[in-house]
Amino acid sequence: MNINWFKYSSPQTFYPLAGKMIPWFAWLAAILAIAGLYISFAIAPTDFQQGEAYRIIFVHVPAAWMSMVIYIVMACWAGIGLALNARLSAMMAQALAPTGAVFTLIALVTGSLWGKPMWGTWWVWDARLTSELILLFLYLGFIALQASIDDPRKADRAGALLALVGAVNVPIIYFSVKWWSTLHQGSSINMGAAPKMAATMLLGMLIMALAFWMYTIAVALMRVRCIMLERERSADWVKELSLKSASRGKA
Amino acid sequence: MNAWLTVLKRDLLLAFRRRSDVATTLFFFLIVSSLFPLGIGPEPAVLSSIAPGVLWVAALLAGMISLTRLFAADFADGSLEQMLLAPQSLALLVTAKTLAHWLVCGLPVVLLAPLIGLQYALPNNALLVLVFSLLLGTPALSLIGAIGAALTLGVRGSGLLVALLVLPLYIPVLIFGAGAVAASQHGMSAQAHLSLLAACSLLALVLAPLATAAALRISVE
Amino acid sequence: MLSAQGLACLRGDRLLFKNVGFELNAGGLLYVLGENGSGKSSLLRMLCGLLTPEEGTVFWLGKKIKQDSENYLSNLSYIGHLNGLKDDLTALENLQIGARLAGNHVNDAEALASLTKIGIARCANLPVRVLSQGQKRRVALAVLWLTKAKLWILDEPFAALDVASVDVLAARLGEHMTNGGMTIITTHQDVLIHAQTTQTLRLSA
């Protein structure tokens, strides 16, 4: 008799563990964000070409990093879930998707806010912004597919397959978009050529990226706890939990 | 191989008995590509400069709207189940179905494209490259699209969903395909674009049927 | 030859059945019984490998069916509650294509003979679209006179059939079991089928 440990041990043991971890990550995220924002807005020097407007990269660049990293992490969880039929991994993939989409959106919005003072226009079809836009489409496709399949296990597996297909395609898409943008617009506009970075700037960006990481983990854990409760509402451990919280509410 | 030929012949026979479906795809291609001059104006210089992109996008959309038919009928009447239970590799049978889909929905668009290219005042050498790029690129569209069609089987509003899933994955094919035509318009060699397009199709041929087969197994559960 | 251990089926968050197991040997007939919605069809689909069990395993000749699926599938003939017929093809074409997909070359005469057996030969060249429910079912079932598969899994094969066809089919099933075949069947009708061994499996949550 082979027992699938992933399947049986995970949700009910992971639920309280995740509950304990959330405050730590949330506090770390808050502290790092304050430190990062202080460095980027107070300590980092003003750029002699772009003035103060450049400071938006302290949000833009880490958000862009996160949007890509989260997609990879999500595809990894999805792949593990598909290969090992592990429910928790699939739930993690599902929990990460909205956060990834939000970071992609932040990267897009901050990118266009940065573009306005630099190039006088809200949107340029620059390779990096365009790739972010396509990444947003990929996230939305994943979320839409999962949302439209009623059976949660089927939704997990279909979503996982889509995430893997997307992950294989991302480098190809990125390459093609880069190729396209070099063909179509010479070299006048290029977001990749960020202002020459001072050490403090790099530090600010790294700390902001770390803060985003902690935030992602905290939010993903919160969301995965909700998904667990919803999916396993007929399981004994969820019933016990709701009984406990009900009695606590009365007292 | 026998089963592969059986599936191919079956799908072609079915398409032949439902010729109107094939015509629908072609008409869609025709209508979409005729709308642009009406919206933009008949200036030949403008039309010829937007032609590569417009024709490629129209071909891409025409291929996409026909995707929902690829597996849906077989899913509804149970013959997809029988295909899953055939003692052959499902991925192989998927290539047969995809090939039939391309012959029925992709190839006619490729053949019609130069006529529409004429309406867009494309020069002869660009017309040739247009046909060639579509010939190399549309198989990838069918192959990648099959994944989306398989994933959305039996899902509410699958027609719209398939667009959301598949269109972002079509972007590289669009870029290389339209790029090839544009390059030849500007008197440059389209060879690099065409090679990349062929590479996309080959990669799709290797990987997409496997993903489609996996998606079909998930959807049929 | 076919055995199952500890099968469980979850639909949504409802447990349809668990701990279902059996062993079916040459010449054996297995009735799967249960109310509507008890998971009979799901069990049959699980045995075919179309549905992944929540728990448990299905073995064919002692090997997991997923491990040696090509061998298993070439020994399997499954007729689900959907007929698997294309409306635009004729009965004859449908039958031949189905047989060929299962790796079984069938010429016109053989296909026509099987349609004759189940009494539907006069519809052979009509598109399935114009046939009645019962006639379509018979076209789907005609494959049982062509297949060389040892294991037949049939989901409500008698539904929508007239009395004469029920008898013909029951006789065919009896013949299959006499030749050492195996059948797993769900049915709401009381039909006598001769088999070397007969088992019953009742599903309840």
In 3D space, the residue among B99, B106, B119, B120 whose CA is nearest the CA of residue B59 turns out to be B106
Tally C-beta pairs within 8 A across B and C.
Answer: 75
Which comes out higher in pLDDT, residue A229 or B32? B32
Q: Are B63 and B109 in contact (CB under 8 A)?
A: yes
CB contact (8 A) between residue C13 and residue A150: no
Instruction: Give the domain range for residue B25.
Output: 2-219
ipTM for the predicted complex comes to: 0.90
Q: What is the pLDDT of residue A3?
A: 47
Give domain status of residue A152, yes or no: yes
Give domain status of residue A249, yes or no: no
Summarised one tens digit per residue, pLDDT across range B145-172 is 999 999 999 888 788 899 999 999 999 9
With 0-12 / 13-18 / 19 or more C-beta atoms within 10 angstroms meaning exposed / middle / buried, residue B59 is buried
pTM value is 0.89
pLDDT band at A7 (very low <50, low <70, confident <90, very high): very low
- Tell me the shortest Cα–Cα distance from C136 to chain B, in angstroms: 11
Q: How many domains does chain A have?
A: 1
Give domain status of residue A123, yes or no: yes
- Using CB atoms, list chains with 3+ pairs below 8 Å to chain B: A, C
- Partner residue opposite A234 with nearest CB, options C6, C13, C52: C13
- Partner residue opposite A141 with nearest CB, options B164, B211, B218: B164
| Residue whose entry in the numeric block shows the structure tokens 């506009």 | A189
Instruction: Give the domain range for residue A85.
Output: 21-43+55-186+194-231
- Partner residue opposite A151 with nearest CB, options C6, C12, C52: C12
CB contact (8 A) between residue B81 and residue C88: no
pLDDT band at A48 (very low <50, low <70, confident <90, very high): low
**SS3 per-residue string spanning chain A:** CCCCHHHHHHHHHHHHHHHHHHHHHHHHHHHHHHHHHHHHHHHCCCECCCEHHHHHHHHHHHHHHHHHHHHHHHHHHHHHHHHHCCHHHHHHHHHHHHHHHHHHHHHHHHHHHHHHHHHCCCCCCCHHHHHHHHHHHHHHHHHHHHHHCCCHHHHHHHHHHHHHHHHHHHHHHHHHHHHHHHHHCCCCCCCCCCCCCCHHHHHHHHHHHHHHHHHHHHHHHHHHHHHHHHHCCCCHHHHHHHHHHHHHHHC
* Mean per-residue pLDDT, A79-105: 90
pLDDT at position A193 over 70: no
Give domain status of residue A236, yes or no: no
Interface of B with C (CB under 8 A): 2-3, 6-7, 10, 13-14, 17-18, 73, 76-79, 81-88, 220-221
Residue among B155, B160, B166, B189 with most chain A CBs within 10 A, to mutate = B155
* Most confident by average pLDDT, A83-97, A173-187, B79-93: B79-93
Q: What is the pLDDT of residue A249?
A: 63
- Tell me the shortest Cα–Cα distance from C53 to chain B, in angstroms: 10
Summarised one tens digit per residue, pLDDT across range C49-107 is 999 888 899 999 988 988 888 889 999 999 998 999 999 999 999 999 999 988 888 88
Which comes out higher in pLDDT, residue A181 or C141? C141
| Residue whose entry in the numeric block shows the structure tokens 């539907």 | C120
Q: How many domains does chain B have?
A: 1
Lowest-pLDDT range of A59-73, A120-134, A184-198, C36-50: A184-198
- Using CB atoms, list chains with 3+ pairs below 8 Å to chain C: A, B
pLDDT band at A88 (very low <50, low <70, confident <90, very high): confident
Give domain status of residue A146, yes or no: yes
